[in-house]
């Protein structure tokens, strides 16, 4: 007897199942990971399954496995089929790389992160964390301040000037 590939489910049903799995606070990390393996195998597109499985690995503290799944999601074309998830993937994958002590890769990935409403200032915040991990604390603080500056009700010019002074030699 051969193992047949898992049948995919309609996209709307799959999305609802993924959302329900992530919102189920009664599950432990390993339970969620097991359930996500099943959902990933039935994803309407391999990139979607790899992204969500990467997130489950990441959430469970299995960074090396998360890295593999995030790389697979990218290779399988996540950016083409789901730009929102692709923007999230950059943040999540870069954070994973930072946790794997691959800080320079994380910094490069976050510097090139696409702007997307789904992530807002998150790429800049995670860039600040990666820069801090690299020992570049003044640059990290500048990036964090610049990420927050647009949300301030006032003091924009002053805050921008103070942030620039952190790294202007």
Cβ–Cβ contacts within 10 Å for residue 120, how many? 13
- As a whole number of angstroms, the distance between CA 60 and CA 4 comes to 28
Contact call for residues 134 and 107 (beta carbons, < 8 A) = yes
Specify the pLDDT at position 9: 65
Arithmetic mean of pLDDT, 92-112: 98
Specify the pLDDT at position 11: 79
CATH class of this structure's domain 11-135: mainly alpha
Q: Judge whether residue 38 has pLDDT over 60.
A: yes
In this structure, what token pair is assigned to residue 87? 């923007």
Among 6-20, 34-48, 97-111, which stretch is predicted with the lowest mean pLDDT?
Answer: 6-20
pLDDT band at 162 (very low <50, low <70, confident <90, very high): very high
Proportion of the chain above pLDDT 90, given as a percent = 91
Structure letter (DSSP) for residue 169: -
Contact call for residues 131 and 98 (beta carbons, < 8 A) = no
Contact call for residues 48 and 36 (beta carbons, < 8 A) = no
Arithmetic mean of pLDDT, 139-159: 96
Specify the pLDDT at position 66: 98
> How many Å is the Cα radius of gyration of the chain?
19
Arithmetic mean of pLDDT, 63-68: 98
Specify the pLDDT at position 62: 98
Length of the chain: 169
pLDDT band at 169 (very low <50, low <70, confident <90, very high): low
Contact call for residues 58 and 97 (beta carbons, < 8 A) = no
Cβ–Cβ contacts within 10 Å for residue 130, how many? 26
Specify the pLDDT at position 8: 64
- As a whole number of angstroms, the distance between CA 169 and CA 166 comes to 8
């Amino acid at each position: 007897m051969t193992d047949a590939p898992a049948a995919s489910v309609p996209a709307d049903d799959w999305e609802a199942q993924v959302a329900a799995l992530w919102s189920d606070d009664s599950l432990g990390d390993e339970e969620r990971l097991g359930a996500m393996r099943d959902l990933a195998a039935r994803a309407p597109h391999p990139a979607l399954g790899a992204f969500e499985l990467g997130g489950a690995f990441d959430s469970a503290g299995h960074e090396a496995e998360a890295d593999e799944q995030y790389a697979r999601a990218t290779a399988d074309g996540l950016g083409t089929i789901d730009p929102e998830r692709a923007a999230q993937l950059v943040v999540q994958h870069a954070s994973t790389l930072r946790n794997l002590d691959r800080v320079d890769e994380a910094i490069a990935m976050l510097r090139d992160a696409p702007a997307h409403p789904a992530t807002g200032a998150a790429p800049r915040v995670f860039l600040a964390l990666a820069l801090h991990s690299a020992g570049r604390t003044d640059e990290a603080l500048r990036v964090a301040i610049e990420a927050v500056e647009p949300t301030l009700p006032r003091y924009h010019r002053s805050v921008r000037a103070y942030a620039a002074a952190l790294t202007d030699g």
